[in-house]
Amino acid sequence: MLQHRALLILVMVLTVALAAVQALYPLVINHTFEMIDHATPAFSTDAGADRDITSTKAAIQYAQSIAVQSVVMLVIRALQGKMFNRLGLRRPRAVEREAPAQLSSRFTTDAVTIREAMVRAVNAVGDATMLVGLAPA
């Protein structure tokens, strides 16, 4: 994973930015209710900030999703390559003892487990950041 430092830093920056923008949602909801109470038109200039926050969140969430999936796929591809190379170094009889489906299943299961762990780690950072941002609210 360390060979993808730049991408990992980008993922963390986007995750923190996403959590920070999400922490603004209580303000957006409160502002929307105030507009409803005062019969303010939905497309007034007052609503511009709400649209900007929501649009910013969507853009950051999209970029973060792409970055997370990119780093996950790079790590999994490297891991599976190493697993395949190690398999090639084993004695042929040792490889023959295992069913091809069992080997394939192990490659796939390991990749899914690592992907889930990486995505959960990123989400944990985002959740912790969002909690900090919502604490004063």
Please choose, from the candidates 137, 126, 135, 128, the residue with its C-alpha nearest in 3D space to the C-alpha of residue 57. 126
Domain span at residue 104 reads 2-134
Hey, what amino acid is at 58?
A: A
Q: What is the pLDDT of residues 9-32, one digit of tens each?
A: 998 899 889 888 888 888 778 877
Looking at per-residue pLDDT, the higher value among 65 and 103 belongs to 65
40 vs 106: CA distance, rounded Å: 59
The tokens for 81 are 């390559």
Residue with tokens 């986007």, as numbered in its chain: 14
Residue with tokens 């993922």, as numbered in its chain: 11
Q: Do 126 and 79 touch, CB atoms closer than 8 A?
A: no
Which pLDDT score, from 0 to 100, does residue 53 have? 85
Q: What is the pLDDT of residues 74-127, one digit of tens each?
A: 988 888 888 888 877 777 776 777 777 777 787 788 888 888 888 888 888 888
Number of domains in the chain: 1
What is the reported pTM? 0.70
